[in-house]
Chains A and B, each alone.
Chain A
């Protein structure tokens, strides 16, 4: 064979080998089968479907389909929601710093957030936003209140340093005022008190008793533990004698935040542990230094919408007998999800990777076929099971009727909160409380009896309510809150 031919053959053989290897290096045999089926599917869609959508949409469908085969907490987060999710966790975004709602079909400022550009520009609660960048809001915001708010948020948010022009109709004024507001990084607090002070800081003391602190944790995010610690230090300067942690309607958040918060209140022992399929059990334990208010009586308020991280905190403080739990049995979500960013702007997968376990070892997770008598969720301490509606009203009602009454009470609670979680306009008094909060009242009553032990806490002998069965259909993300912050 001539040398030239041999050369050729060697070159060709080499190319073949490279080709062969690259085919072989495909991960596994069945992945190759997946690809063939996948490619064939796309081919059929392209050639035969009446209106083939964009590739990106198909991929989103496929990713959502993957999570459908998993538990109900695993989910696909599309790119547009991922950004919002991140901002919520970091409690930071670029904006002007107001909370909005749609009132009488008009875009309305429910409250400015303290210290933000909008606040400094004199935007006040109750102001109507009639135009954004010269465009009348009645023209650019259409659809449901939810859609209107989303569109408004899209137009008002933006990179820090950029400017947005809005026309504001102040309450009681006839002429709209045009203001240019420079956007900044807006910090959203996750720990709130019962109402704002005149200087627009939170008042963490309970109105009825200046010796009792009240801390409402709305979610467990990056800064929540720090915020809580700072708030407690403020309260300690006001020499409080008792503390209420309100975890009602708190859907959860970061495991790390829950662990840090537990560590503020207990000095040793297990906080929580997690178990995944591939790793050893991870035990989170308390550290001695940094424990706050060791002897102070604490009440944790819980309800059926307290889930996940809320349940970790409630269970830990109950098992260590550090707090008394008042309210209703919690949601029952005993699993941990990881957020897996898929890259290339494709969104993320929220994947259940572990279960978590309270110090007592009792089960928290409500499995799909669990009944009311099974062990799940975190229960209030004995004698402290209190509904949002009075016992006398509940008597003789069917489960469905009680459910409806509780749903009404929840919306009244949120209406009251959104009326009172505002920075009052200068010269106007703080809004009045419009909701009779039986659970909070019970917490105050209990703490008073601990602070002044000469008074008999007779209510501790009240028999617990039985058959607490009602359940609203909310998913973790479906919080009944209706306003959006931006």
Chain B
């Protein structure tokens, strides 16, 4: 056969193979069967829906729903959301952390930061946000909701809130808003409240104490003898461990006999910082691990230097202890460093990753891993997990108290008002630490 023919034949074969590949990848790809139904549905909706709608819009909704069905942390970042996330974020915030309720069912408040406008307005952990500036949150991904909540400093944000536990005891207050005439909270017929909250650039503290002094600093001593200190870790942001280390040094100089670490409503921060804080109290042994099917396993061990290993500790947690703070609680518990008092933590320790898609515009945020505690158990609460499964950190001393009550406690302390309620978990921690220190006193 002449060489030219051979080349022709080879060229044709190459084209054929390429074609074959495209067709076969489309028909034999394991996603094809469900894709067929998906696309047929998009076509039907495009043709028959009562109003004209773009197939692209329906397709994006479908992908968003598919990802949202994975778990409450995973979401589809549409081209416009992904683009906005890559730009510099707006500076105005109201001071809340939220989670997705899952399956595009809206968002729930997990944490309200001290001194923030949301705290002033009376927003509470557990509140469900149904609408953000009149946009229905069940049609938004978590990231889309977050983008709407942020905005220009001093601008107003309107939230429609449902409170599962009822409004009467802890009403929402009008916060500092630019237009108080229109900003008063309004109760709707369905039991929701719509409230206006002003965004600000205030940076909430990562660490607070028991009550705020007139000079703006925090008092940490819970006992008159100044031997038991109370530290609330609001978040685990970069620098928290350093500030805590300085505080601990100060406490030690004041002959401190015990420290209460309050991790309730601590829902944000970084794993690295949680590890650093754990390392302040633990001198050897494993602190935590991160594992995932397509993830390089990471694990952290305690370093022996700069450790406050002698100070007795007690840790407060509740169902709003979520994320890196759960790693911290788990490593302190599993290394027998501190008793846990309060409620089981949330089991919200997923490791997520943003994966850009080949279309160049959109991306997936996927849960690609989870945190493993020193005892080998997975901290993450997987979708469908029951109460009997092993997620989260269970307390050694179970004390449940309504989030409203504890938050009201925090709020009154911030404004130096006497608290109206007894903080039962705190009392228990104090009781444990004082009984621990007493024998030492008699020894000396």
The residues of A with any CB-CB pair to B shorter than 8 Å are: 1-2, 5, 8-9, 12-13, 15-16, 19-20, 22-23, 26-27, 30-31, 33-42, 44-45, 47-53, 55-71, 74, 276-278, 335, 338, 340, 342-344, 346, 349, 351-355, 369, 399-400, 403, 469-473
* 28 A-B pairs with C-beta separation under 8 A: A1-B2, A12-B13, A16-B19, A19-B19, A20-B19, A38-B35, A40-B357, A44-B355, A47-B294, A50-B368, A50-B380, A51-B383, A55-B34, A59-B38, A61-B65, A61-B70, A62-B38, A62-B66, A65-B63, A66-B65, A276-B50, A278-B48, A335-B50, A342-B41, A349-B41, A349-B44, A351-B44, A352-B50
Q: Considering only CB atoms and an 8 Å cut-off, how many residues of chain B contact the other chain?
A: 85
- Given A41-B67, A66-B45; A471-B190 close (CB under 8 Å): yes
* Contact B19–A470 (Cβ < 8 Å): no
* Contact B23–A399 (Cβ < 8 Å): no
The docked-state distance in angstroms from the alpha carbon of A335 to that of B76 is 30
* Residue B39 is within 8 A (CB to CB) of chain A in the complex: yes
Binds A, one of B243-251, B337-345, B358-366, B419-427: B358-366
For the complex formed, measure the closest distance between the CB of A62 and the CB atoms of chain B, giving whole angstroms: 4
Choose one: B67, B294, B369; the contact of A61 (CB below 8 Å): B67
- Given A20-B19, A58-B34, A353-B50; A48-B294 close (CB under 8 Å): yes
* Contact A49–B366 (Cβ < 8 Å): yes
Binds A, one of B51-59, B217-225, B310-318, B397-405: B51-59
CB within 8 Å: A-B pair count: 230
The docked-state distance in angstroms from the alpha carbon of A48 to that of B355 is 10
- Given A62-B65, A346-B37; A277-B49 close (CB under 8 Å): yes
Choose one: A5, A9, A69, A403; the contact of B53 (CB below 8 Å): A69
Indicate the member of A23, A41, A55 with the most B CB atoms within 10 Å. A41
Task: List chain B residues, Cβ under 8 A from A69.
Answer: 53, 57-58, 60-61, 139
With A50-B369, A346-B37, A353-B48 known, 16 other A-B pairs at CB within 8 A are A5-B5, A16-B16, A37-B359, A37-B362, A39-B31, A41-B357, A49-B74, A50-B293, A61-B70, A62-B62, A64-B65, A64-B103, A66-B62, A74-B49, A277-B51, A400-B191
* Residue B91 is within 8 A (CB to CB) of chain A in the complex: no
* Contact B48–A276 (Cβ < 8 Å): yes
* Contact A65–B48 (Cβ < 8 Å): no
* Contact B16–A49 (Cβ < 8 Å): no
For the complex formed, measure the closest distance between the CB of A271 and the CB atoms of chain B, giving whole angstroms: 20
The docked-state distance in angstroms from the alpha carbon of A2 to that of B366 is 58
- Given A65-B104, A66-B58; A16-B12 close (CB under 8 Å): yes
The docked-state distance in angstroms from the alpha carbon of A5 to that of B292 is 54
Task: List chain B residues, Cβ under 8 A from A44.
Answer: 355, 364, 366
* Residue B253 is within 8 A (CB to CB) of chain A in the complex: no
* Residue B15 is within 8 A (CB to CB) of chain A in the complex: yes
* Contact A48–B65 (Cβ < 8 Å): no
Residue of A nearest to B63 (CB): A41
* Residue B377 is within 8 A (CB to CB) of chain A in the complex: no
* Contact A64–B63 (Cβ < 8 Å): no
For the complex formed, measure the closest distance between the CB of A281 and the CB atoms of chain B, giving whole angstroms: 13
The docked-state distance in angstroms from the alpha carbon of A330 to that of B241 is 59
Indicate the member of B34, B58, B60 with the most A CB atoms within 10 Å. B34
* Contact A12–B16 (Cβ < 8 Å): yes
Task: List chain A residues, Cβ under 8 A from B48.
Answer: 276-278, 338, 340, 351, 353
* Residue B80 is within 8 A (CB to CB) of chain A in the complex: no
* Contact A30–B56 (Cβ < 8 Å): yes
Task: List chain A residues, Cβ under 8 A from B355.
Answer: 44, 48
Task: List chain A residues, Cβ under 8 A from B13.
Answer: 12
Task: List chain A residues, Cβ under 8 A from B59.
Answer: 34, 37
For the complex formed, measure the closest distance between the CB of B297 and the CB atoms of chain A, giving whole angstroms: 13
Residue of B nearest to A61 (CB): B69
Task: List chain A residues, Cβ under 8 A from B367.
Answer: 49-50
For the complex formed, measure the closest distance between the CB of B148 and the CB atoms of chain A, giving whole angstroms: 16
For the complex formed, measure the closest distance between the CB of B22 and the CB atoms of chain A, giving whole angstroms: 5
Task: List chain A residues, Cβ under 8 A from B295.
Answer: 48
Task: List chain B residues, Cβ under 8 A from A68.
Answer: 61, 64-65, 104, 138-139
Indicate the member of B12, B44, B50, B63 with the most A CB atoms within 10 Å. B50
* Contact B31–A55 (Cβ < 8 Å): yes
The docked-state distance in angstroms from the alpha carbon of A38 to that of B60 is 10
The docked-state distance in angstroms from the alpha carbon of A470 to that of B191 is 10
Residue of A nearest to B294 (CB): A48
The docked-state distance in angstroms from the alpha carbon of A132 to that of B227 is 64
Task: List chain A residues, Cβ under 8 A from B16.
Answer: 12, 15-16, 19
The residues of B with any CB-CB pair to A shorter than 8 Å are: 1-2, 5, 8-9, 12-13, 15-16, 19-20, 22-23, 25-26, 29-31, 33-35, 37-45, 47-53, 55-71, 74, 76, 103-104, 134, 138-139, 187, 189-191, 292-295, 350, 353, 355, 357-359, 362, 364, 366-370, 380, 382-383
For the complex formed, measure the closest distance between the CB of A152 and the CB atoms of chain B, giving whole angstroms: 21
The docked-state distance in angstroms from the alpha carbon of A111 to that of B131 is 43
5 tightest CB-CB pairs across the interface, nearest first? A65-B65, A61-B69, A19-B19, A69-B61, A471-B189
The docked-state distance in angstroms from the alpha carbon of A469 to that of B187 is 12
Task: List chain A residues, Cβ under 8 A from B41.
Answer: 63, 66, 340, 342, 349
Task: List chain B residues, Cβ under 8 A from A342.
Answer: 37, 40-41
Task: List chain A residues, Cβ under 8 A from B39.
Answer: 27, 31, 34-35
- Given A50-B293, A55-B34, A335-B50; A13-B12 close (CB under 8 Å): yes
* Contact A473–B190 (Cβ < 8 Å): yes
Task: List chain B residues, Cβ under 8 A from A35.
Answer: 26, 35, 39
The docked-state distance in angstroms from the alpha carbon of A135 to that of B67 is 40
For the complex formed, measure the closest distance between the CB of A260 and the CB atoms of chain B, giving whole angstroms: 24
* Contact B64–A45 (Cβ < 8 Å): no
Task: List chain A residues, Cβ under 8 A from B359.
Answer: 33, 36-37
Residue of A nearest to B27 (CB): A22
* Contact B63–A37 (Cβ < 8 Å): yes
Task: List chain A residues, Cβ under 8 A from B51.
Answer: 277
The docked-state distance in angstroms from the alpha carbon of A365 to that of B234 is 47
Choose one: B55, B67, B293; the contact of A47 (CB below 8 Å): B293
Residue of B nearest to A69 (CB): B61
Task: List chain B residues, Cβ under 8 A from A74.
Answer: 49
Task: List chain B residues, Cβ under 8 A from A351.
Answer: 44-45, 48-49
The docked-state distance in angstroms from the alpha carbon of A471 to that of B190 is 6
- Given A48-B368, A61-B65, A62-B38; A399-B104 close (CB under 8 Å): no
* Contact B358–A36 (Cβ < 8 Å): yes
* Contact A63–B65 (Cβ < 8 Å): yes
Task: List chain B residues, Cβ under 8 A from A5.
Answer: 1, 5, 9
Task: List chain A residues, Cβ under 8 A from B25.
Answer: 39
* Contact A352–B49 (Cβ < 8 Å): yes
For the complex formed, measure the closest distance between the CB of B262 and the CB atoms of chain A, giving whole angstroms: 30
* Contact B66–A65 (Cβ < 8 Å): yes
For the complex formed, measure the closest distance between the CB of B361 and the CB atoms of chain A, giving whole angstroms: 10
Task: List chain A residues, Cβ under 8 A from B50.
Answer: 71, 276-277, 335, 352-355
Task: List chain A residues, Cβ under 8 A from B8.
Answer: 9
Residue of A nearest to B38 (CB): A62
- Given A35-B39, A278-B48; A26-B26 close (CB under 8 Å): yes
Residue of B nearest to A407 (CB): B191
Task: List chain B residues, Cβ under 8 A from A469.
Answer: 189
The docked-state distance in angstroms from the alpha carbon of A355 to that of B49 is 11
The docked-state distance in angstroms from the alpha carbon of A47 to that of B293 is 7
The docked-state distance in angstroms from the alpha carbon of A59 to that of B189 is 36
* Contact A65–B62 (Cβ < 8 Å): yes
Task: List chain A residues, Cβ under 8 A from B138.
Answer: 68
* Contact A2–B357 (Cβ < 8 Å): no
Residue of B nearest to A58 (CB): B66
- Given A68-B139, A353-B48, A403-B189; A9-B9 close (CB under 8 Å): yes
* Contact B70–A45 (Cβ < 8 Å): yes
